[in-house]
């Protein structure tokens, strides 16, 4: 009982949608702050190596399974299996992915709500509505519920419209805007006093930290989260991609755009911190580390913006527009995981299912908001630290061992007929069967033990 499936209308549409999923708060907030707390340039180097060595092969595993099966994550993992055991295991992994994707969306919605609040605040301040501005920028249950609900509704509205009219249309509109705002902000920040000091901290690697296990684990987690891996997001996007397209090439482009934007975002955030320092803001914690977590985005940068006078309002508006755009093109890709599964398994209409599932996930967000200290960090760790890498291993094993070598090759040959003689086919199959799972597991257990 399958409803008619959507498809991306063009290669560019797919690339912008997949890059939109990948480029999110993880790039613009997560990557620069992890860099700041992990010794600057050394983290950047390790991150790039891991992104291409481990995350790219895992991305390919998801894209290939998805395009081959042309189905949601649960059906896809079940249908490529030939034995009863792997079919059961595949279905279980698929459902686990659906649950984890939904939980990631539940906390992402809260953080994205904060971005919306700070996006509206410069407008209310410009209009002289200082009470509303204060309400928007001060943490409260009511503010968090209202802004998270607004963001959840935007996400549902786009997903209800389907692949071409929802995901593709909005990614194609928003991603160029994101890029333009990012560049304009960088140009502006670079002209401010203090920026060059920050640039040096960002770009000059402290090589002594490169072998630090904590740094390597943070970089691996960051790479998986940033490429949206492990929960079937890329699998389901791949399932909407035309058979004409060359998968390994598209995967390289998506990885390059994602890591490239993370790198460029660092050129904005780290120098901004040092500009703030120049204007007298405290940017170090008591232990001498750079302030990294929420305080960076919601304290250091706003102090910087307000010290800039009128232009600060424009800069704040532009910055939080950038963050909100990055968040929407990612959150839609998370919601698509449970929605595609439910639509294809029940045959009910997409809009109705979208609003039902979206509301259930928002209820989980509300639960997190009401029990913030107990649950928020717990859910983030459960999903991103503990579940995503293990699910990533499962996807690699399914692509490498369950999807037969002949089928893999046949799938790749559609869209890239010469693939058999190229480097990808020489390296990737063994890589995804053995090297990737072993390296991910070693890093994972190292981090859990550490």
- Name the site residues for ligand TRP (rule: CB under 6 A): 21-22, 24-27, 101, 104, 225-226, 228, 231, 233, 330, 333-334
Indicate the DSSP class of residue 420. Answer: G
The angle formed by the CA atoms of residues 68, 73 and 10, to the nearest 5 degrees, is: 55
Question: How far apart, in whole angstroms, are the C-alpha atoms of residue 254 and residue 6?
Answer: 21
Ramachandran class of 40: left when φ > 0, alpha when ψ lies in -120 to 50, beta otherwise: left
Question: How far apart, in whole angstroms, are the C-alpha atoms of residue 2 and residue 135?
Answer: 47
Can you read off the two tokens belonging to residue 449? 């033990």
Minimum distance between the CB of residue 388 and ligand TRP, rounded to whole angstroms? Answer: 6
The answer to whether residues 345 and 74 touch, using CB atoms and an 8 Å cutoff, is: yes
Q: Name the one residue in this structure whose structure tokens are 């279905």.
A: 91
Closer to ligand TRP by Cβ: residue 19 or 273: 19
Closer to ligand TRP by Cβ: residue 144 or 329: 329
Q: How far is the first Cα of the chain from the last one, in angstroms, to the nearest whole number?
A: 47
Closer to ligand TRP by Cβ: residue 334 or 343: 334
Question: How far apart, in whole angstroms, are the C-alpha atoms of residue 292 and residue 270?
Answer: 10
Closer to ligand TRP by Cβ: residue 156 or 195: 156
Minimum distance between the CB of residue 146 and ligand TRP, rounded to whole angstroms? Answer: 22
The answer to whether residues 270 and 39 touch, using CB atoms and an 8 Å cutoff, is: no
Minimum distance between the CB of residue 330 and ligand TRP, rounded to whole angstroms? Answer: 4
Q: What is the DSSP string of 155-175?
A: HHHHHHT-IIIIIIHHHHHHH
Closer to ligand TRP by Cβ: residue 147 or 333: 333
Closer to ligand TRP by Cβ: residue 24 or 271: 24
Closer to ligand TRP by Cβ: residue 14 or 274: 14
Minimum distance between the CB of residue 404 and ligand TRP, rounded to whole angstroms? Answer: 27
Minimum distance between the CB of residue 102 and ligand TRP, rounded to whole angstroms? Answer: 10
Minimum distance between the CB of residue 235 and ligand TRP, rounded to whole angstroms? Answer: 10
108-399-31-182 Cα dihedral, nearest 10 degrees: -80
The angle formed by the CA atoms of residues 152, 153 and 159, to the nearest 5 degrees, is: 90
Q: In which element (H, E) is residue 181 found? A: helix 169-190
Closer to ligand TRP by Cβ: residue 392 or 415: 392
Closer to ligand TRP by Cβ: residue 70 or 385: 385
Minimum distance between the CB of residue 333 and ligand TRP, rounded to whole angstroms? Answer: 5
Minimum distance between the CB of residue 264 and ligand TRP, rounded to whole angstroms? Answer: 14
Q: What is the DSSP string of 74-110?
A: HHHHHHT--SHHHHHHHHHHHHHHHHHHHHHHHHHHH
280: helix, coil or strand?
coil
Minimum distance between the CB of residue 104 and ligand TRP, rounded to whole angstroms? Answer: 5
Minimum distance between the CB of residue 119 and ligand TRP, rounded to whole angstroms? Answer: 17
Minimum distance between the CB of residue 307 and ligand TRP, rounded to whole angstroms? Answer: 29
Question: How far apart, in whole angstroms, are the C-alpha atoms of residue 150 and residue 143?
Answer: 11
Closer to ligand TRP by Cβ: residue 245 or 258: 258
C-beta neighbour count of 242 within 10 angstroms:
14
Closer to ligand TRP by Cβ: residue 108 or 431: 108
Q: Name the one residue in this structure whose structure tokens are 């301040």.
A: 125
Angle, nearest 10°, between helix axes 169-190 and 11-22? 60
The answer to whether residues 122 and 317 touch, using CB atoms and an 8 Å cutoff, is: yes
């Amino acid at each position: 009982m399958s409803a008619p499936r959507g498809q991306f209308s063009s290669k560019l549409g797919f690339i912008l949608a997949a890059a939109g999923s990948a480029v999110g708060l993880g790039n613009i907030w997560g990557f620069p702050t992890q860099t700041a707390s992990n010794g600057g340039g050394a983290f950047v180097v390790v991150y790039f190596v891991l992104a291409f060595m481990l995350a790219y092969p895992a991305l390919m595993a998801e894209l290939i399974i998805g395009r081959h099966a042309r189905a949601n994550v649960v059906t896809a993992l079940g249908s490529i299996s030939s034995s009863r055991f792997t079919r059961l295991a595949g279905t279980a992994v698929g459902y686990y992915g659906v649950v984890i994707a939904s939980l990631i969306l539940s906390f992402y919605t809260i953080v994205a709500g904060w971005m919306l609040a700070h996006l509206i605040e410069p407008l209310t301040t410009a209009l002289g509505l200082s009470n509303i501005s204060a309400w928007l920028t001060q943490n409260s249950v009511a503010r968090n519920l209202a802004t998270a609900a607004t963001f959840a509704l935007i996400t549902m509205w786009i997903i209800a419209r389907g692949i071409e009219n929802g995901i593709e249309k909005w990614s194609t509109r928003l991603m160029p805007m994101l890029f333009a705002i990012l560049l304009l902000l960088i140009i502006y920040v670079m002209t401010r006093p203090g920026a060059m000091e920050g640039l040096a901290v960002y770009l000059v690697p402290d090589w002594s930290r490169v072998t630090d296990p904590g740094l390597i684990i943070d970089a691996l987690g960051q790479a998986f989260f940033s490429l949206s891996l492990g929960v079937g997001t890329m699998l389901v996007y791949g399932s909407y991609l035309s058979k004409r397209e060359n998968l390994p090439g598209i995967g390289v482009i998506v990885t390059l755009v994602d890591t490239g934007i993370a790198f460029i975002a660092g050129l904005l955030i780290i120098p901004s911190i040092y500009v703030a320092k120049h204007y007298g803001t405290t940017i170090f914690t008591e232990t001498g580390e750079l302030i990294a977590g929420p305080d960076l985005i919601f304290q250091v940068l706003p102090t910087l913006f307000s010290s800039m006078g009128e232009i600060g309002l424009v800069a704040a508006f532009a910055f939080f527009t950038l963050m909100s755009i990055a968040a929407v093109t990612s959150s839609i890709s998370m919601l698509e995981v449970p929605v595609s599964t439910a639509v294809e398994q029940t045959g009910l209409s997409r809009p109705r299912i979208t609003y039902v599932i979206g509301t259930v996930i928002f209820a989980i967000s509300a639960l997190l908001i009401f029990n913030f200290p107990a649950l928020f960090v717990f859910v983030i760790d459960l999903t991103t630290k503990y579940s995503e890498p293990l699910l990533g291993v499962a996807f690699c094993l399914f692509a490498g061992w369950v999807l037969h070598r002949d089928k893999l090759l046949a799938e790749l040959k559609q869209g890239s007929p010469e693939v058999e003689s190229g480097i990808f086919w020489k390296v990737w199959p063994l890589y995804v069967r053995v090297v990737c799972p072993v390296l991910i597991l070693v890093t994972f257990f190292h981090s859990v033990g550490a």
